[in-house]
Amino acid sequence: MKTKHKELNNWIDEMVKMCKPEKVVLIDGSLKQKLVLEKEAFETGELIELNQEKLPGCVLHRTAINDVARTENLTFICTSSKEDAGPTNNWMNPEDGYHKAAEIFKSSMVGRTMYVIPFSMGPIGSPFSKIGVELTDSIYVVDNMLVVTRVGQKVLDFLGTDGKFTKCLHSKADLDINKRLILHFPEDNTIWSVGSGYGGNVLLGKKCMALRIASYLGRQEGWMAEHMLILGVEKPTGEINYVAAAFPSACGKTNLAMMVPPEGLKVKGYKVWTVGDDIAWMRIKEDDSLWAVNPESGFFGVAPGTNSKSNPNAVKTIQKDTIYTNVLLKTDGTVWWENGDGPIPSEGIDWMGNPWKPGIIGDDGKPKKGANPNSRFTAPASQCPSISPRFNDPEGVPITAIIFGGRRASVAPLVYQSFGWNHGVFLGSIMASEITAAQYGAQGMVRRDPMAMIPFCGYNMADYFKHWLEMGSKMKNPPKIFHVNWFKTNKEGQFLWPGYGDNLRVLEWIIDRSNEKISAYKSPIGYMPYKKDLDLNGLDINEEVLDKLFDININEWVKETKDIKEFYAKFGSKLPEELNIELNDLIDRLG
Ligand code: SAT
Ligand code: MN
């Protein structure tokens, strides 16, 4: 297999020498080739064909049992200097990284095919876009990359004979957790991932390239790669405001990005447009404001909890040409997951491939789940009923507001606005959230996750904060910055806010504030809404609950500032002074 690109050919040759595949196949992006590969995967069991009448073009894949989420402890930034990776990343020096991984990659593809996937993150040829080439021995990876990135000959044509690209190497090897490494070499624009078959570890265009490598490039080149959804809210006048919002994994980004206006707000005639559900690449344009594209072309969403009520647009998106991972297989060849649509099936095959019935007890003494809590669907963005007409716009969309959010049972109110850009960066930097099933770790424990980038920032996070501050100072019309928390609970642990479509009520306030249409009151932590400015039409919520949603508990916040101080201390003298000033100002305001 030869392309017109000499460096690419040389690199493939080198990787072939190490991995020793039986053959090398170029992925051309055609449906014909995809079907041939899927057929092969049905035969080996790598993929399972689903009921083609009910779910045309859909397949199921089961990962290894110990390979169901990103393994952050096995994910490394390999830079010459440890300081460049910073205190929040695992670090390995590049030489060690290449050496250790090569030991696992060596002959890992014997008897297998190496697929060469040329892909573009962002519309091909857009000023935002970047090209990568992933080499992999997994048809599942090929199938997913065909959905979440733009793949094929057209990418190679654009790359020409000497275009720049990110070198992405992946092998399942033995799927052995003790021989698993996800390594990033930002100085070489290279990613090596071995020993895993799970999404975020192996779809190298996604978290590895579009966040870790891209954030590194963005700092050098003066743009931003963020863990953010992008959505547009259109008024009946046709005016559309786009917002970008950062939430940690499995905190409802996909649901928010595809939200449907709630009953009571329908009279206002809003339309919500989905631009992206996970990643935003943002640049300052000639108009001195911030513009964004979604570098992906599909969604890799969490299945459990997705149903016609929580996310009707997602349900419609995943009826065809969708890859399901680690969900329950029903006897009729369709799929199911906890809190999905339809009745709980009376039997099926669970995500581990075992016979399942509701209520059967697992080794841990708890009822076994049919679908893994981090089971996923991979579906083309083009199938989403709310996909923005500007989804493929190479120029992107202008961003009116940036929203940071976490999953907090207490402390953070439903919504508040920063006093300005630097204070907004501070709000991003102090983001915290409870750990979810999307990452290995003690679930429910609160961890600091600045800008939802703690697992995804490809360099020293103190420099990342500095980059954020600098980007703001370069813009005459920067987006306004907000913080939201949909997950505040009462003493009984029940959510105070209904969430989902009703979040549009909060977005409406955010957009009006951004366009300076309404006032707000100053609290110690930021600008807060007057209750009269939140449209609660059709929502059954009482004053007491509302007060709780906006309550600022000074004691909790004082404790929070101590926690932030401790977190900031990790960065030593590298922490930008602006953030210390913001923290001290907050402490002063709290009295
Ligand atoms: O597995 S992914 O990293 O792609 C999804 C997520 O955890 O956000
Ligand atoms: Mn994500």
Per-residue pLDDT tens over the stretch 206-222: 999 999 999 999 999 99
Residues 79 and 212 in one domain: yes
Q: Clarify whether residues 199 and 243 are in a common domain.
A: no
Active-site residue 251, yes or no?
yes
Kindly state whether residues 431 and 468 are assigned to the same domain. yes
Rounded to the nearest angstrom, the distance between the alpha carbon of 207 and the centre of ligand 1 is 7
User: Can you tell me the distance from the alpha carbon of 50 to that of 450, in angstroms, rounded to the nearest whole number?
Assistant: 40
Are residues 545 and 398 part of one domain? yes
pLDDT band at 441 (very low <50, low <70, confident <90, very high): low
Do 102 and 136 lie in a common domain?
A: yes
- Of the residues 156, 188, 221, which one is the last residue of a structural domain? 221
Distance from the alpha carbon of residue 521 to the mean position of ligand 2, in angstroms: 33
Instruction: Measure the CA–CA gap between 289 and 286, rounded to whole angstroms.
Output: 8
Q: Where are the beta strands (DSSP E) in 247-285?
A: 271-276, 280-284
CA 435 to centroid of ligand 2, rounded, Å: 13
pLDDT (tens digit per residue) in 115-151:
999 999 999 999 999 999 999 999 999 999 999 999 9
Q: Is the pLDDT of residue 324 over 90?
A: yes
Q: Do both 404 and 503 map to the same domain?
A: yes
Residue nearest to atom 3 of ligand 1 (CA): 200
Statement to judge: residues 212 and 241 lie in one domain: no
CB atoms within 5 A of ion ligand 2 belong to 249, 278
Is 261 found in the same domain as 208?
no
566 part of a folded domain = no
Ligand 1 midpoint to CA 51 (Å): 27
β 23-26/113-121 pair status: parallel
CA–CA gap between residue 417 and residue 420 (Å, rounded): 8
Residue 343 placed within a domain: no
Ligand 1 mutation pick, 144, 148, 170, 207, max ligand atoms within 8 A of CB: 207
Q: Kindly give the residue spans of alpha helices, DSSP state H, lying in 149-269.
A: 153-159, 199-202, 214-221, 253-257
Q: Give the domain CATH number at 180.
A: 3.40.449.10
Last residue of a domain, one of 179, 198, 221: 221
Q: Could you report the per-residue pLDDT of 236-292, keeping only the tens digit for each?
A: 999 999 999 999 887 889 999 999 999 889 899 999 999 999 999 999 999 999 999
By CB atoms closer than 10 A (0-12, 13-18, 19+), residue 389 is exposed
Answer yes or no: are the C-beta atoms of 246 and 277 closer than 8 Å.
no
Length, in residues, of the chain: 591
Taking the CA of residue 199 as reference, the ligand 1 atom at the shortest distance is 1
Atom of ligand 1 nearest to the CA of 203: 4
141 shares its domain with 258: no
| Count of structural domains within the chain | 2
Same domain, 170 and 278: no
> Model's pTM, two decimal places?
0.97
Q: Which residue has the tokens 């405001």?
A: 241
User: Mean of the pLDDT values across residues 44-69?
Assistant: 97
User: Of the residues 188, 221, 254, which one is the last residue of a structural domain?
Assistant: 221
Element (H, E) at 481: strand 480-484
Hey, whose CA ends up nearest to atom 4 of ligand 1?
200
Q: Per-residue pLDDT averaged across 160-178, rounded?
A: 97
CA of 516: how far to CAs of 436, 470, 513, 519, in Å?
Answer: 36, 24, 5, 7
Query: What region does 359 belong to: left with phi over 0, alpha with psi -120 to 50, or beta?
Result: left
69 alpha carbon, closest ligand? 1
Helix (H) or strand (E) holding 77: strand 75-77
Cα–Cα dist 2/306, whole Å: 43
Q: Is residue 307 part of a domain?
A: no
Residues 205 and 266 in one domain: no
Q: Is the pLDDT of residue 437 over 90?
A: no
Q: What is the CATH number of the domain that holds 412?
A: 3.90.228.20
Per-residue pLDDT at 455: 95
Which pLDDT does position 442 carry in this prediction?
A: 67
Residue 206 shares a structural domain with residue 280? no
- Closest C-alpha among 449, 504, 494, 65 to residue 251: 449
Q: How far apart are CA 408 and CA 560, in angstroms?
A: 12
Q: What is the pLDDT of residue 445?
A: 82
Instruction: Judge whether 327 lies within some domain.
Output: no
Residue 171 lies in a domain: yes
Does residue 543 lie in a domain region?
yes
Q: Supply the range of the domain harboring residue 457.
A: 226-297+388-552
pLDDT above 80 for 444 = no
Catalytic pick from 208, 251, 384, 457?
251
Q: Where are the beta strands (DSSP E) in 98-203?
A: 113-121, 130-136, 150-151, 166-171, 181-185, 190-194
Residue 577 resides in a domain: no
pLDDT in tens, 382-429: 999 999 999 999 999 999 999 999 999 999 999 999 999 999 999 999
* Distance from residue 439's CA to the centre of ligand 1 (Å): 8
Around ligand 1, the residues with Cβ closer than 6 Å are 70, 199-200, 206-207, 249, 300, 438
Whether 86 maps to a domain, the answer reads yes
Within 10 angstroms of residue 522's Cβ, the number of other Cβ atoms is 11
